[in-house]
Amino acid sequence: MNDILLEVKQLKTYFFTEDGIVPAVDDVSFNIHKGETVAIVGESGSGKSVTSLSIMRLIEEPGKIVGGEINFEGINLNKVPRMKMREIRGNRIAMVFQEPLTSLNPVFTVGNQLAESIKLHQKKSKKEAREIGIEMLRKVGIARPDKVYDQYPHALSGGMRQRVMIAMALSCSPKLLIADEPTTALDVTIQAQILRLMRDLIKELDTSILLITHDLGVVAEMADTVVVMYGGQVVEKADVFTLFKEPKHPYTKGLMDSSPKIHEWNEELVSIPGTVPSPFEFPIGCKFADRCPHVMNKCKEEIPSLIEIRKGQEVRCWLHSEKVVDLE
């Protein structure tokens, strides 16, 4: 677990729009170790998806990575030439998207799309690619994989499509799988199946996962380490047990209190007041200042920095600018 697979260091991705510059990802740093599952949690506009797209170098105009390093297996992806990136993308790092219907091409068969990356990255013949492809479909729990291989995406259910996407992503045994809201579009019983499948497969293939989600239930189920993002910044970072036991940032706490607790009775849900401001309306100081129940004058003036308050837990908040003393 000590080997770092991916190191994201002070990543900055800005969007240069007509209305002004949007710092969608602003100074984000985290590591992913071999075999580890790291979850990025945040609501819309938190920058979680832009972070993952930056790692894949899939940021398009008017967006641009303006600073920082993305070190993957010792290479800074931010500096890698385009052609070299194509060798890494889909091969060493693969991605599963939220919407399984729009991320599969409707005019090609499942097999056609599945074999594409196998042929390209593993230099296999069409026949070999078919065998590997069918084997992958079997691995992701699709019954009659040889039949599904020749079917078109529209003939499959949402859960099946997401299984195909996972088969496709894992077909080249990537070291890192980026899953951007992989189960959000699925029904809850299917979601549970897909999560279990992902957990089993990564154990088998020794793949690390970067999981992007807004659902704390999914985080608790899957993650080893959690990165909480708000307004393009990391506001808290901790291992999953510490985070759920002792969330320190008011936003993390608010997020936890506002998710419905299905396994206990509670009358009133606690909610975070207000909404995420538009990118141009964030406060000057702490980005959460407008919605924070503990806001102080200092918060409105100065951005707090991310401070390690104890081993393995970092918080960006003026309430926690000193180390806590563990009483254990």
Partner 1 sequence: MSQLLEVKGLKKSFDVTRGLIKRKKQYLHAVNDVSFSVQKGEVLGIVGESGCGKSTLGNLIIQLLEPTEGEIIFDGVDLRKLPPEQLRKKREDIQMVFQDPFSSLNPRKRVFDIIAEPLKTHGSYNKVELEHEVLQLMDVVGLNRSYLNRYPHEFSGGQRQRIGIARAIALKPKLIICDEPVSALDVSIQSQILNLLKKLQKELQLTYIFIAHGLPAVKHVSDRIAVMYLGKIVELTTKENLFTNPMHPYTEGLLSAIPIPDPTARKDERRLLEGDIPNPVNPPTGCAFHTRCPYKTELCERVEPEFTEKRDGHFTACHHPLKEGKGIISQHEKY
Q: How far is the CB of 53 from partner 1 (least distance, A)?
A: 20
Q: Which of 43, 73, 99, 116 binds partner 1 (CB under 8 A)?
A: 43
3-class SS of residue 176:
strand
Q: How far is the CB of 287 from partner 1 (least distance, A)?
A: 14
Q: Which of 261, 294, 311, 323 binds partner 1 (CB under 8 A)?
A: 261
22 binds partner 1 (CB under 8 A): no
Residue 93: beta bridge partners?
A: 89, 176
* Contacting range for partner 1; rule: CB under 8 A; set: 2-10, 89-97, 102-110, 263-271: 263-271
109 binds partner 1 (CB under 8 A): no
Q: How far is the CB of 285 from partner 1 (least distance, A)?
A: 20
137 binds partner 1 (CB under 8 A): no
Q: How many other C-beta atoms are found inside a 10 Å radius of the C-beta of residue 134?
A: 21
How many residues in the chain?
A: 328
219 binds partner 1 (CB under 8 A): yes
Q: How many other C-beta atoms are found inside a 10 Å radius of the C-beta of residue 170?
A: 21
Nearer to partner 1, 142 or 309 (CB): 142
Q: How far is the CB of 172 from partner 1 (least distance, A)?
A: 27
Q: How far is the CB of 189 from partner 1 (least distance, A)?
A: 4
- Tell me the C-alpha distance between 251 and 24, whole Å: 18
Nearer to partner 1, 202 or 216 (CB): 216
- Tell me the C-alpha distance between 16 and 9, whole Å: 21
- Tell me the C-alpha distance between 56 and 94, whole Å: 8
Nearer to partner 1, 118 or 160 (CB): 160
Beta carbons of 242 and 312 less than 8 angstroms apart: yes
DSSP code at position 89: B
- Residue in the block written with tokens 């196998």: 118
2 binds partner 1 (CB under 8 A): no
Nearer to partner 1, 3 or 268 (CB): 268
Nearer to partner 1, 66 or 190 (CB): 190
Q: How many residues bind partner 1 (CB under 8 A)?
A: 46
Which of 40, 18, 184, 167 has the alpha carbon at shortest distance from 94? 167
Site for partner 1 in 71-100 (CB under 8 A): none
Site for partner 1 in 146-205 (CB under 8 A): 157-160, 187-193, 195-196
264 binds partner 1 (CB under 8 A): yes
268 binds partner 1 (CB under 8 A): yes
Q: How far is the CB of 143 from partner 1 (least distance, A)?
A: 9
* Contacting range for partner 1; rule: CB under 8 A; set: 3-11, 122-130, 211-219, 312-320: 211-219
Beta carbons of 234 and 30 less than 8 angstroms apart: yes
* Contacting range for partner 1; rule: CB under 8 A; set: 8-16, 56-64, 118-126, 265-273: 265-273
269 binds partner 1 (CB under 8 A): yes
* Residue 102 in tokens: 């729009």
3-class SS of residue 289:
helix
Helix (H) / strand (E) element for 139: namely helix 126-139
3-class SS of residue 197:
helix
| Dihedral class, residue 10 (left if φ above 0, else alpha if ψ from -120 to 50, else beta) | left
- Tell me the C-alpha distance between 283 and 90, whole Å: 38
Terminal CA-to-CA distance of the chain, rounded, Å?
Answer: 25
The residues of the shown chain that bind partner 1, judged by CB under 8 A, are 43-44, 157-160, 187-193, 195-196, 214-221, 223, 240-241, 244, 254-256, 258-265, 268-273, 275-276
